[in-house]
Structure 1
Amino acid sequence: MRIINKIISAFRGEDNYIENITKYINSGDFSSNTKYFIWVDKKNFKVNIFTGSKNNWTLIHSYLCTIGKKSTPTPNGTFTVGIKGLYFGVEKGYKCWYYTQFKGNYLFHSIIYNLDGSVRDGRLGMALSDGCVRLEKVNAKWIWDNIPEGTKVYIS
């Protein structure tokens, strides 16, 4: 019975998070030039993707992420999705897949892979990047495939 209660509590916690962040975004007058809006919640290490329009956003994805460490933090503020690319880092001996720019050299991208395809650093839910937002490869690809240039990104 204890295990079932823990599972129920875990689900309730996630439900409360989803409900709370949706209320927060919809009460904040956030808008986007596309039908998508992204909020990077650094406190909870989450990339939250919404669809809709100003004051009428619906959460469609909430991905665990890694953000910048203290010495190279992920910037706070409101930014806009820019260029995209398949991967980078080969000249330095690694690959980060499916990058989507949100400010200058700051990107959403996959965890870090070795050139042979094995995982070099797959840690998520931590502050350890050089400022980029790392995601599971499949989640970085979803953003790369679906989030158009001009989408607003809010980071706090």
Structure 2
Amino acid sequence: MRNIKSNRQLDYSKFDTDMTAFVNDNNIKSPSDYLIVTSIKERITYIFEKEGEMWVLIYRWSCTVGKPSTPTIKGVFAVGVKYPAITSEGSKVSAKYATNIVGEYFYHSILYDLTGTYIYDGRLGVAISHGCIRLDTNNARWIFNSVPEGTTIVIN
């Protein structure tokens, strides 16, 4: 399992108040020039880009996270394999631009029908998923196309 990229605990005291300070004060490392951070509480995904020795916020996106019975995992992970589209076995829906976090957890688009043509559930900013992090399709596509495998992910 690709969990915990750092052998030290992060200080989450600024996580809910100043995300840029959180990532820079913790001196979070990533093997790429990008860093993905998701706040489960705020239901926001942040994309940072490295400039010199500092992380600069370039995107802040509303997202959907896991419902209480199937919560989104917390921790430090690395971007894994990517799939143009995914479906769950026996599911009536699909998602586009899936980027693996760990195991069966992904960043992916809102939900579509199995053909990928019609939006099945486009809600963002709520806790209704089975644990994956849903994004607007354009944002999921951006991560899929721009963020390399191995990039650090922080979810809390």
Shared fold, TM over 0.5: yes
Q: Which runs of 5 or more residues in structure 2 are unaligned?
A: 1-14
Query: Hey, what does 1:14 align to over in structure 2?
Result: none
State how far apart, in whole Å, the 2-side matches of 1:151 and 1:33 are: 6
Stretches (4+) displaced over 6 A: none
Q: Which amino acid letter does the alignment assign opposite residue 113 of structure 1?
A: Y
Greater shift in the superposed pair: 110-119 or 38-47: 110-119
Q: 1:42 aligns with which of 23, 40, 43?
A: 40
Q: Which amino acid letter does the alignment assign opposite residue 49 of structure 1?
A: I
| Match status 1:125 vs 2:130 | no
| Alpha-carbon contact 1:25-1:55 (below 8 Å) kept | no
Query: Hey, what does 1:96 align to over in structure 2?
Result: 95
Query: Hey, what does 2:56 align to over in structure 1?
Result: 58
| Alpha-carbon contact 1:99-1:107 (below 8 Å) kept | yes
Equivalences, count: 139
SS at match of 1:48: strand
Deviation at 1:115, TM superposition (A): 3.1
Per-residue CA deviation, residues 13-41 of structure 1 (Å, 9 max, x unaligned), is: xxxx9x92111211112111111111101
Deviation at 1:55, TM superposition (A): 5.5
Greater shift in the superposed pair: 85-94 or 95-104: 85-94
* TM-score when normalising by structure 1: 0.83
| Alpha-carbon contact 1:30-1:55 (below 8 Å) kept | no
Deviation at 1:93, TM superposition (A): 2.7
Q: Which runs of 5 or more residues in structure 1 are unaligned?
A: 1-16
Q: 1:73 to 1:24 in 2, by over 3 A?
A: same
Which protein is bigger by CA-based radius of gyration? 1
Q: Which amino acid letter does the alignment assign opposite residue 98 of structure 2?
A: Y
Pairwise CA RMSD of aligned residues? 2.0
Q: Which amino acid letter does the alignment assign opposite residue 128 of structure 1?
A: I
State how far apart, in whole Å, the 1-side matches of 2:51 and 2:65 are: 26
SS at match of 1:30: coil
Deviation at 1:53, TM superposition (A): 6.5
| Alpha-carbon contact 1:45-1:67 (below 8 Å) kept | yes
Q: How does 1:1-150 map to 2 (within 5 A)?
A: 20-52=18-50, 56-89=54-87, 92-116=91-115, 117-150=117-150
Greater shift in the superposed pair: 19-28 or 146-155: 19-28
User: Percent identity among equivalent residues?
Assistant: 38
Q: Which amino acid letter does the alignment assign opposite residue 99 of structure 2?
A: T
Q: Which amino acid letter does the alignment assign opposite residue 111 of structure 2?
A: I
